[in-house]
Each structure stands twice: as C-alpha cells, then as structure tokens.
Amino acid sequence: MSTPPIVIIAEPDPMISSALRVEFTHLDFAVFLAASGREAEDYAAHAVAHLVVLDTKLHLQSYDACVRIRRRPGYAARPIVLTANNPTARMKAAADKAGANLVLAKPYSVQDLLNAVTPFVPDNDLLLSHRARGPGMAHAQEWVPASNLTWQSGINSALTRNGRLLPIVRGGNSVSIPLYRKLVS
C-alpha cells in the first residue's frame, strides 16, 4: 500500500481543525495540523502535501504563507485553499494574488472541500484517487509502532504504517517532522 495523501490544515479554531482531522483521518489521509501560517510553511518545507488549507482568520499570515508555499518545489500544481466565514471580493482578489486556487466559505465539509478542488487536480492525482481502507481487524493490524520512534506521546506523537513514519497531529511551538524513511524490519 502506498503512503496516503498528505493534507496541511492551518485552522485556528480547535473545534474545526479537530473535525477536519477526524474526517480526513477516517478517509486514511495523513493530516498535519498547523496553528499558524508559519507552522503550515514548516510542514510544507518537510513534505509536499496534496492539499493545503489556510484559514483567513490568520489574517495576513495565511496570504503570506500561501505565497511562500506556492513558491516551494512541488507546490506549483498543488491546490491551496483559503477559507473564510464570509468571503468578499477583496479576499478573493488577495487570495488569487497570493496564489490560492480558491476561497471556500465556512462552514464546509471534507467532501465540499474535495469537490471544490477537483477542477484544480489532475484526474490521476492521489488526492482524488485515494480510497480509504475498509474497517476491520486487518485495518488495525497494518499499523505497527516503530521501535525507534523518538517523538513523545501527546502533542508530538506519530504512527507508522508500511514502514514509514506518518506524523498526523499538531506539533508544539517548533515543528520537527521526521523525513519519511524505511524502518528496519
């Protein structure tokens, strides 16, 4: 099985970010939750995400982060979405100037988000072609803890699957994402 699609979400509201994390994780996506635009940039520096979602409540941070993420290698064709409670024409113009594909109005579901980015994603992209594994015992058995896992449990925890580290929860004040690497069997 391949590495799941990666989603970076910068959402300051813990209720919304938690709900998105749960929905994306249920779909078997690897989720990086960022508390700020800068933290989202740090995640983007370590892994090319299939989708980046930045909330405009972060004010200029979201637009600046969008510009810098878009300039990173691998992000030229990746969808970057800005979200807002009440998107205005001015917000949409600023988002377009920053390189975002679209501004999505809140509230939205993961399905609404995926439907909105579909026109910006090639048909064979993992973001749209990925299918979640079915529930059951086989699903649980595929997750094997790494013997050399250095992250502590809690806010900096990580899980492994198929011999690859997959950090899927919010980092602390400094972001330190281990590179995807093959673990010794």
pLDDT of residue 133: 57
Q: With bands split at pLDDT 50, 70 and 90, how would you rate the model's confidence at 4?
A: confident
Question: What pLDDT digit, counting tens, does each position of 78-93 carry?
Answer: 999 999 999 999 999 9
pTM for the complete prediction? 0.70
pLDDT of residue 150: 43
User: 126 lies in a domain?
Assistant: yes
Q: How many CB atoms within 10 Å of residue 87?
A: 17
User: 178 lies in a domain?
Assistant: no
pLDDT of residue 27: 87
Supply the CATH number for residue 19's domain. Answer: 3.40.50.2300
Question: What pLDDT digit, counting tens, does each position of 31-41 carry?
Answer: 999 888 899 99
Number of H-type helices and E-type strands within the chain: 7, 7
User: 172 lies in a domain?
Assistant: no
User: 183 lies in a domain?
Assistant: no
Number of residues assigned to the chain: 185
Residue 153 has pLDDT above 70, yes or no: no
Helices 60-71 + 37-46 axis angle, to 10: 10
Q: What is the mean pLDDT of the chain?
A: 76
DSSP 19-53: HHHHHHHHTT-EEEEESSHHHHHHHHHHS--SEEE
Rounded-to-integer distance, Cα 21 and Cα 185, Å: 29
Q: How many CB atoms within 10 Å of residue 61?
A: 20
Residue 185 has pLDDT above 50, yes or no: no
Helix, strand or coil, per DSSP, at residue 5: coil
User: 13 lies in a domain?
Assistant: yes
User: 180 lies in a domain?
Assistant: no
pLDDT of residue 139: 36
Looking at the 3D structure of the chain, how many domains does it have?
A: 1
User: 120 lies in a domain?
Assistant: yes
Question: For residue 46, what are the domain limits?
Answer: 6-167
User: 1 lies in a domain?
Assistant: no
- Which residue did the predictor score with more confidence, 81 or 184? 81
